[in-house]
Amino acid sequence: QLELVESGGGLVEAGGSLRLSCSASGRTLSGLTMAWFRQAPGKDRRFVARIQWTNANTDYDDSAKGRFTISRDNGKNTVFLQMNSLKPEDTAVYYCAAVRNLASRRAYYSGANYGAWGQGTQVTVSS
């Protein structure tokens, strides 16, 4: 069974940077897509970015494009989310998730399609 553990959250001032990590264990990540979602207080969980493990293809929500970068370390079974130019509206709990590669690009944007989740890590951006 795939286990995901996030780390790297914290408190940062607006304009600052954080790097989140998601360590995966329990099975091979080949054939999977890894993603980051976030959930702000009182709001639904929302897709942020994803990376296909085998070929490293990436995709981003518009809110993340140009500021966030998702990457992976094959040897360490770890996915990263580098977040730059952070804004107060980026404040949320960030979750790592995994899904078998899907046929539709839009399907990746729905958390309901993901079968494995981490416990989440809090990111707070002060103004």
Instruction: Write out pLDDT tens, residues 8-42.
Output: 999 999 999 999 999 999 999 999 999 999 999 99
State how far the Cα of 120 lies from the Cα of 37, in Å rounded to an integer: 9
H or E, element range at 125: strand 121-126
Under 8 Å between Cβ of 75 and 16: no
Q: What is the pLDDT of residue 62?
A: 97
The helix, strand and coil proportions of the chain, stated in percent and rounded to the nearest 5, come to 10, 50, 40
CA dist 64 → 3, 21, 79 (Å): 25, 16, 16
The mean pLDDT of the chain is 97
H or E, element range at 123: strand 121-126
DSSP code at position 66: T
The pLDDT profile of the chain, 127 residues, written as one tens digit per residue, is 999 999 999 999 999 999 999 999 999 999 999 999 999 999 999 999 999 999 999 999 999 999 999 999 999 999 999 999 999 999 999 999 999 999 999 999 999 999 999 999 999 999 9
Per DSSP bridges, beta strands 32-39 and 3-7 are: unpaired
DSSP code at position 82: E
Under 8 Å between Cβ of 125 and 86: yes
